Structure 1
Amino acid sequence: MTPAEYQALTSPTLSHPARSLYQLYLQHQALGDKTQPLDYPLLGKALTVQGQGEYHYRVTPATLSGLVEELVAVGLLSLHHNPHPQHFHGAVFSLPLKHLQGLAPLPSRQFAMHPDWRPDQQFSGLARLCGLLDSTIDEIELGEFIAYWLGRPEVFENQHQWMLKLVRKLKNQRSIKRAPAPSVDSGYQQLPAKIETGPSKRAQQMMAEAQRLKATNQGDCESDEENS
C-alpha cells in the first residue's frame, strides 16, 4: 500500500465495507494497475456477513454500486471501461493511487537509533518545511547525529521523528556558524580612551592662580620693607 492509498482509505467519508472491498478484493486481485472485471455475484458473496452475532451485512447490487462510487469519490478507483452504464457489473477500473507516493509517509513503528540509519527521500521536503533551505548533509554531520543517539538506546522514534531531530540539529549548527563576528565600523578601530594620570585642567588653573597670588604678595612685602 502506498502512502497515497493509505490517505484515501482513511478518509472519513469512506465506509468500512468500501475499504474492505478495495483492500481485500479489488487491489489484491488487480492485474497491474487495473482491476479485473467486477463480478457482482462473487463480490456480493464475499462481502456478505452472516453469523450468530448482532452484526449482519447483506450486499445487494445497489449496495455494491454505492461502494464502488465511494471508492471513485476518494480517488482510489477510476473508471476504465464499463459495458453497462446502468451498473458496474463487468466494469474495469484503474487504480490511480497504486504507485503514487503522496505527500506523507505511512505511519511507521518506533525504533532506537542504529548505525545504518539514514534519512529517506522525504528529508529535503521536511527540511524546507522547517526553514532549512540547504538540506545537504555530509557524513561527518550524519555520523555525529547517529553517534549521539546511539548512546541513548532508551529513545524510540519513528522515521519521521528521527529526521525532524536531524533537521533541528542542522539548523542549530548552521545558525551558530553563520553568527556574525563583531565588525569595525567603516574600517576604523575605536581606540581606548586616554586615562589621565596627572592633575585635571581645573586643578592646574587653580595651582597657577595660587602661584600668581603668592608672587604678588611677596612683591608687596619686599616693597614695604624698602619703604620702611
Structure 2
Amino acid sequence: MLNSLELAALSQAVSNEARVLYCLYLLPQSQSDDSKITIHNKDILALLNSTDKRISLGREISALFEELHHAGLIDIQGEHDFQKSLNRHRVTLLLNKAGKDLQDSDLHAQHQKISVSWRPDNHLFEQICALVGVIDLHFDAEELGEFIAYWLGRPESQHTPYQWTQKFVLHLKHRRIRKPISGEKSKVGHQWVETQAGIEFDDNVKKLVKKYSEQS
C-alpha cells in the first residue's frame, strides 16, 4: 500500500508507465525482508507491454527508473548510467520504509528554493543516510558548497525540506562512489570515506563494511 510520501511523489510530473513500474513491479516486492529489489528487464517488459508493445529497449526501462529517481522514490545501488540498461541492478525504495517521523507534514508541506545559507536538518540527514546506506556521515564545506552552487544555478527548482535533504544525501553518496582525486581516503564497500586517525568503527559500521565488501 502506498503511504502519503509515495503518493505525493507519484503525483508529480511522472509518466503513467513509471507509476505502473513503481506500483505494480517495485512496490509488491518491497514487502519482503530484503529492502533492495533486483531489476529484471524481462519481467518489466511483460508487465508494461501486456496489451500494447510500448517499450522494447533496456534504456527505455532505464528512463522510467530515472523518472522515479528524480521524484525521490528510489535509489540505484552502485555505479549506474540511466542511458544504459539497468538489468540486474539493485533498487531501494526510499519512501516506502520511511519511519513515521519522516512523514511529518512540516517536512513535505512547503516547497522552496535553495539558498546560500541552506543546511540539512541533522536528525533528518542521519535518518536518510541510514535509509540509503551512506556510511560516513561527515561532510565538508566543499561537498556542501558544490551541492548549493549546483542548485542555485537552477532557480526554477523548488523542493520541500525533506526533498532537499534527500537530494543532498544522494549527492554525497554518488560523489563518494567516484574515486577521489586526492586526499587521504579509504574505500569501504563502494564508497570512499575520510581516513581519520583514532577513529574506530562500531559494530553497525563493521556490519555495513562486511555487507558492501561482499557485494563489491
Same fold (TM over 0.5): no
* TM norm structure 2: 0.41
Structure number having the greater strand percentage: 2
* TM norm structure 1: 0.39
* Rg larger in structure: 1
